Amino acid sequence: MRFLPVNLDALLVELDDLPQTLALLASLQADPIAGVDDIVPAARTLLIRHRPTVVTQTGLAERIGRRSLTAPVKQAHTLIEIPVDYTGEDIDDVAAMLGISSEEVIRRHTGSEYTVAFTGFAPGFAYLSGGHPSFDVPRRKTPRTRIPAGAVGLAGQFSGVYPQASPGGWQIIGVTATPMWDLGRAVPALLQPGFRVRFVDASGRVRPSSASSAPSIVPADAPTAAAGGPALVIRSAGVQALFQDAGRHGQAGQGVSASGAMDQGALRAANRLVGNPGDAACIEIVYGGFTLVSRGDTVVAFTGADAPVRLTAADGANWPVAGHQAIALSDGDSLALGEPVAGIRSYLAVRGGFDVAPVLGSCSTDTLAHVGPSAISVGDVLAVRSVAYGGIVGMPEQPRDDLPVMDGIVTLDVVMGPRTDWFTADAVARLASQVWTVTPQSNRVGLRLAGDVPLTRANAAELPSEGTALGAIQVPASGQPVLFLADHPLTGGYPVIGAVATHHLDRAGQIPIGARVRFNPIQSFHELP
């Protein structure tokens, strides 16, 4: 085993092959180590997130290093048969690569039983191992911008089915109408780790169904509170307004990442101000431009970005009010959040909490995976849960004095690893010495950065998919880094040169488009003992 640093609270265990990886995963699941919060398996690695207050990285590596890798992995009894129409646009190319006919590709693909090795990339996307030994085909050199839901593909030694329409670089050999992801099921992901899978040739008899491409985002305005009760009526939603809470943890087995608020500290502060639990759902507002009207008496608070707030009473009188404090509203009062002067994301909490239904245990909206409540829009009436009379409301919070601004340079501490050694020494030095600009293509998935000189790799090999962490700095073929944020994919296929340290993740979530970023390595790359 190799133990590679990922962040201050995460490490990557690299093994020789998939059987070893699955054996170690089974061992850690059967006999858990205290302090381990999450494990993301991949082709040859396990990404392990832990609590440093319970177990140190060195101690964790030592304990994992004593585990056996020879124990056989028990196979699940569940067998899923997937009918496929083998008319994929790459099937002839795959046949040419392997020196066989398209008919032989179909025979080999249907003639083997697969096992769900791990999940990632998107909710319900399963990496299937155990196909015909000849199936070892590279990803497409140029990924497609859109692959339809239900597409069946090959990449490396894996086979898989795209659960929803998305970009992708796998070689597409067919299509199925069987939905891989359906929130109407008790367990939305059809394919779970360990399940057995068999593909059945149904060419000419299979057509993609609407169910396979149905969006997973559910309506946000489904209140259970009594009609006419307290609510916030949305008059303007700004650029983007989403429900976010502490995140959707523990769903890695279905290929679902945590998501959650981009600035977790601001989320907790907003909830403290109105007397809610710290992880309650708030509205995350990007770049201001948000206006609400109170229906009934409510208590709200804005935190996060430094943005002006103006209160207009029901009688028309208006005046500015401060953020980072509880604001009592009467029926008909309105609040307008203006454009921030520092930071970009504001958090709106309401006393009692929003009456919104969770999806897979969280009210967070994952914009990449399309899981969670729908975006908030003009005209929405957001019901507020009732609260016991006399509930505690917090004292004013102290705003952060280090919020990023457009005309400044934002410094982010970085932990180097796990794939720093895949880059030239010059590229490693340039990551820290060069100033990077945040491009307009940035969003909750990640900050796309541009520098004068791209980062060059020393290792040009194709990296097998492996787990990615919040804050990871992934470097695609262009050499221009992408800093993964809350809605990042669970796994990725490009090397990660380093990760923003845990104590600067909230700051990263507040960086505006056009700002400049400098990385400050606080821990050099080294394998853990």
What is the arithmetic mean of pLDDT over 354-363?
95
Supply the pLDDT for residue 73: 76
Crossing angle of the two packed helices 91-98 and 102-110, in degrees rounded to 10: 90
- 28: Cα within 13 Å, side-chain hemisphere: 28
Q: Give the integer Cα–Cα distance in Å for 84 and 153.
A: 11
Instruction: Give yes or no for residue 210 having a pLDDT over 60.
Output: no
Supply the pLDDT for residue 214: 45
What is the arithmetic mean of pLDDT over 147-152?
95
Instruction: Single out the residue of 9, 69, 11 nearest to residue 528, CA to CA.
Output: 11
Quote the DSSP letter at residue 229.
Answer: S
Contacting residues for 381 by C-beta, under 8 A, at least 6 apart:
221, 223, 231, 232, 233, 234, 295
What is the arithmetic mean of pLDDT over 447-466?
94
Domains and CATH numbers, the chain: 2-65 (3.30.1360.40), 79-213 (2.40.100.10), 217-383 (no CATH), 409-523 (2.40.100.10)
Instruction: Give yes or no for residue 413 having a pLDDT over 70.
Output: yes
pLDDT digits (tens, 9 = 90+) for 2-14: 999 999 999 999 9
Q: Give the integer Cα–Cα distance in Å for 188 and 124.
A: 8
Q: Give the integer Cα–Cα distance in Å for 49 and 257.
A: 13
What is the arithmetic mean of pLDDT over 67-87?
89
pLDDT band at 228 (very low <50, low <70, confident <90, very high): confident
Quote the DSSP letter at residue 417.
Answer: -
Instruction: Give yes or no for residue 212 having a pLDDT over 60.
Output: no
Residue 435 sits at φ, ψ, to 5 deg, of -90, 135
Contacting residues for 451 by C-beta, under 8 A, at least 6 apart:
430, 434, 435, 436, 437, 480, 481
CB contact at 8 A, 468 and 417: no
Residue 10 sits at φ, ψ, to 5 deg, of -155, 150
The 10 Å CB-count burial string (b at 16+, else e) for 215-233 is ebbbebbebebeeeebbbe
pLDDT digits (tens, 9 = 90+) for 362-410: 999 999 888 999 999 999 999 999 886 656 677 888 888 889 999 899 9
Supply the pLDDT for residue 222: 44
Supply the pLDDT for residue 444: 97
- 236: Cα within 13 Å, side-chain hemisphere: 14
Supply the pLDDT for residue 271: 96
Instruction: Single out the residue of 228, 487, 449 nearest to residue 369, CA to CA.
Output: 487
| Mean pLDDT rounded to a whole number for the chain | 92
Q: Using a pLDDT cut of 70, give the percent of the chain over it.
A: 95
pLDDT digits (tens, 9 = 90+) for 275-305: 999 999 999 999 999 999 999 999 999 999 9
